[in-house]
Homo-oligomer: A and B are copies of this chain.
Amino acid sequence: MAEGLLLILSGPSGVGKGTVCRALLAQLPRLKLSVSVTTRRPRPGEEEGREYHFISPSRFQELIEAEAFLEWAMVHGQYYGTLKSKVRSALAGGFDLLLEIDVQGAAQVKRQWDDAVTIFMAPPSMEALKERIAGRGTESEAEIRRRLEVARREMAAYHAYDYLVINDRVETAAAAIAAIVTAEKCKVSRGACPNF
């Protein structure tokens, strides 16, 4: 059985990564979403091993020291990370694994796993991104401006990625990522070879 692909998906908050991921997972039975490890407490409705693996800060620290993480970060005082062992077992099982992580996390992974396929998702325009952020209806005008400014800075990182996918429609963006998976598996440099 051929080993699976490690896919990294990044993009500014509000670009629709979650929705496109769900569409992709429904389309590609061999694709799994990576489940991160975190020190934050489970929220109501969250299940161990589904949204996250929940562990203690001291255990997280041990795992950092044991170099068990492919990438990790601290966000709002809580640790989040991706375990190498989880990635290895998914890929060895022939599954493709999708990591939805930020630009810094993607760079950390790529340094250790240069076979990883990196995909940056961009909105069709900044106007469209603004509408999506504002459309949630939960944020003030100042907060929307702040988030757009962050998005603008994040967008500049697309240069470091292998592929750019524009999320104009969920179906088109999901189809583009599915095409990238198919194409990558046909790459001779990745070991594609005749069956004889």
Contact = CB atoms under 8 A, between A and B. Distances in A.
Q: How many copies does the complex hold?
A: 2
A69 to B, nearest CB: 26
A1 interface: no
Contacts of A57: none
A162 B187 contact: yes
Contact of A176 (B123, B182, B188): B182
A164 interface: yes
A194 B163 contact: no
Contacts of A193: 158, 164
B194 A166 contact: yes
A28 interface: no
A interface majority secondary structure: mixed
Contacts of A178: 179
B192 A186 contact: no
Most B C-beta atoms less than 10 A away, residue of A120, A125, A194? A194
B122 A158 contact: no
Nearest to A125: B196
A184 interface: yes
A183 interface: yes
Contact of A188 (B161, B179, B192): B161
Interface of A: 119-120, 122-126, 155, 158-159, 161-166, 175-176, 178-180, 182-184, 186-189, 192-196
30 contacts: A119-B186, A123-B194, A124-B195, A125-B195, A125-B196, A158-B193, A158-B194, A159-B188, A162-B187, A162-B188, A163-B186, A163-B187, A163-B192, A164-B186, A164-B188, A164-B192, A164-B193, A164-B194, A165-B186, A166-B195, A176-B182, A176-B183, A178-B179, A179-B182, A179-B183, A179-B186, A180-B182, A180-B183, A183-B183, A183-B184
Shortest 8 CB-CB contacts between residues of A and residues of B: A183-B183, A179-B182, A179-B179, A164-B192, A122-B194, A163-B186, A180-B183, A179-B183
